[in-house]
Structure 1
Amino acid sequence: MSADIWLITGAQASGKSTIADLLARQFERGVHVRGGQFYRWAVRGWVHVGDDAPEEEIVRNLRLRYRLSALSAAEYADADFTTVVQDNIYGQDVAGWLDLVAPRPRYLVVLRPSVDIVSARDAARTTATGKIAYRGDFTPAINDLHVASTPHDLGLWLDTSSQTPEETVANILARQDQARVPTNSNPPRPPAGKGGIGLTGQR
């Protein structure tokens, strides 16, 4: 019997890191996997959306990132650690990622605070840490469209605009049944390729 696997997604600066970490700490054996960590381990050659590189290479790296987070989550869950993964995964890529960790118990939470709140949080985070999530034409409003492209019949969707992190986690746990992703027998689907929602300027 495998432990549960949670996927937390949402726009950049929507609170994924904070919520995922706090949620993982609610379990007796909890793990927080940061999807972005996998590209940081590549000391040379990794390309991102927006880089001057062939789209095929960008997609290949993005799929690798998703596979690595899924593999890590599966190994932790099989060792009886409830695992919470956070990453910028949108659209059909979400269903593809969830298929990669099936048939283990899976939960999906989509954080969707208002665009204005995301903008304010991003500005505050940039001031505090120097991290820049949005560049050029990639804005919170555009990123919200990527979030909205995720199948709405999957998981628990939360407008966290007026919630504290503690309130959000309490809400997630209280509505865990709504976050549960039904198990199916479909074979794993790779994340979207050319033109897929994965190409969103994310880091």
Structure 2
Amino acid sequence: MAPGIMSGMTNQAIILITGIQAAGKSTIAQLLAERLDRSVHLRGDSFRRMIVSGRADMTPDPSDEAWRQLRLRYRLTALACDEYFREGFSVVAQDVILGAPLTEVVRLIKQRPLLVVVLAPRAEAVIEREKARSKDAYDEWTIEALDKGLREDTPRIGLWLDTSDQTPEQTVAEILSRAWAEASVD
């Protein structure tokens, strides 16, 4: 069992990790889940990819259908978090949840403790990370626009981390040492 995060009164938690694309969510969530006993890495984006026909992706000017599908994805993520938790798993869920929807997802997840971690590297660091990736996460979006939305529109709940100068392992260590005390939400 990893020290720090499980120093509360329970051995179990739901850890919700968010941030813009290329902030390190998938890598951090996987490494964190590997450090916990009986854990699940829940990738919210997998629900989007399950739609075979009729998918409407989010864009800078999203359609009503894109918003409906995004809300569906968030509801499915919350339900899966709760069900895995009920079966005794710690859940590390990760997705791009920016702006007011973060508060809604926190409300949708019923089980507690719920720890929210926002990965907020500087835009310049994300640009460098994006160059090193084999996939392009920024179709119609710009890194600067998403970063601005994260910093200006996302509620300041949970633990916000500037991971610009950290390795993934350092970020996981910081989450393990600080999240229980600083990331818990009601």
* 1:162 and 2:165 are equivalent in the alignment: yes
Q: 39, 59, 66: which one pairs with 2:74?
A: 66
Q: Hey, what's the Cα distance between the residues in 2 that align with 1:42 and 1:102? A: 25
Residues 7-46 of structure 1: pairs in structure 2 closer than 5 A? 7-46=16-55
Query: Deviations along 1:46-93, whole A, 9 cap, x unmatched?
Result: 1112399x8221111111010111111110011110001110001111
Give the CA deviation at 1:102: 2.4
Q: Hey, what's the Cα distance between the residues in 1 that align with 2:12 and 2:137? A: 32
Q: If the length of structure 1 is used for normalisation, what is the TM-score?
A: 0.82
For structure 2, the 5+ residue unaligned runs are 1-9
Give the CA deviation at 1:4: 1.2
Please report the RMSD computed on the Cα atoms of aligned residues, expressed in angstroms. 1.8
Change (3 A) 1:2 1:104: farther
Question: Number of aligned pairs?
Answer: 175
The one-letter amino acid paired with 2:167 is: T
Change (3 A) 1:2 1:165: closer
Q: Aligned residue for 1:150?
A: 154
Q: Aligned residue for 1:201?
A: none
Q: Hey, what's the Cα distance between the residues in 2 that align with 1:20 and 1:45? A: 29
Change (3 A) 1:147 1:51: closer
The one-letter amino acid paired with 1:7 is: L
Q: 96, 117, 136: which one pairs with 1:132?
A: 136
Change (3 A) 1:51 1:89: closer
Displaced runs of 4+ in structure 1, greater than 4 A? none
* 1:121 and 2:129 are equivalent in the alignment: yes
Query: Deviations along 1:141-163, whole A, 9 cap, x unmatched?
Result: 111012112111x1000011111
Q: 174, 178, 188: which one pairs with 2:182?
A: 178
Q: Hey, what's the Cα distance between the residues in 2 that align with 1:36 and 1:103? A: 21
SS of 1:146 mapped into structure 2: helix
Change (3 A) 1:114 1:164: same
Q: Hey, what's the Cα distance between the residues in 2 that align with 1:44 and 1:117? A: 35
Q: If the length of structure 2 is used for normalisation, what is the TM-score?
A: 0.89
Query: Deviations along 1:97-132, whole A, 9 cap, x unmatched?
Result: 01111242100000111111100101110xxx2x11
